[in-house]
Amino acid sequence: MPRALIVDDEAGIRFALKRWFERQQYQVDEADDGEVALRMLRESPDAEDQRYEVVVCDLHLPHLSGEAVLGLLRTERPDLAQRIILTTGDAVADAPAGSVMAEHPYVLQKPFDLATLRDMVATVRGV
C-alpha cells in the first residue's frame, strides 16, 4: 500500500486530504507543523514498499515553513524532495521569479479541486 504524508496546520484540511488519500488506497500519516514533518521525513525508510510516495505540504507552517522543509530535503533527501506537492493560499501566478512557488514543479493553489490533486499525485509518482 503506498504511503502519503499530509502536512498542514489546519486540521480540517488534513482531515479532508487524509480521507481522499485513504479512498485512493494510501496509508496516510499527518503532521501539523514543519518540524514534525521534517523529523518524519528524515526518519522515513528508503525501501520502496515503505517510503512516502507523495507528500502534500502547506507552504506556511508553524515552526518551520514548507519552503524550509523542501530546502532541507533537497540537500538531505533529494528523492523525497521530488515527491513534495506544496499547497498555498497565495496567488501562485504572482510568485516572484526565483521563489519556491515559481521554481518548484508541484505547487497547488488553495482551494484546489480533487481532479487537479489526482493528476499532480500521478505526475509525482510517475504513474
pLDDT in single tens digits along all 127 residues of the chain: 999 999 999 999 999 999 999 999 999 999 999 999 999 998 888 777 788 999 999 999 999 999 899 989 989 989 889 999 999 876 555 555 555 655 778 989 889 999 999 999 999 998 6
* pLDDT attached to residue 98: 58
pLDDT score for 123: 96
Show the cell assigned to 46. Answer: 528508503
pTM of the model: 0.91
Closest C-alpha to 110, from 62, 57, 36, 63: 57
Distance CA 56, CA 5 (A): 6
Place of cell 518551520: 64
Facing residues of 124 across strands? none
Q: Report the pLDDT value the prediction gives residue 23, as an integer from 0 to 100.
A: 97
Catalogue all structural domains in the chain, each as residue range(s) with its CATH number. Answer: 3-125 (3.40.50.2300)
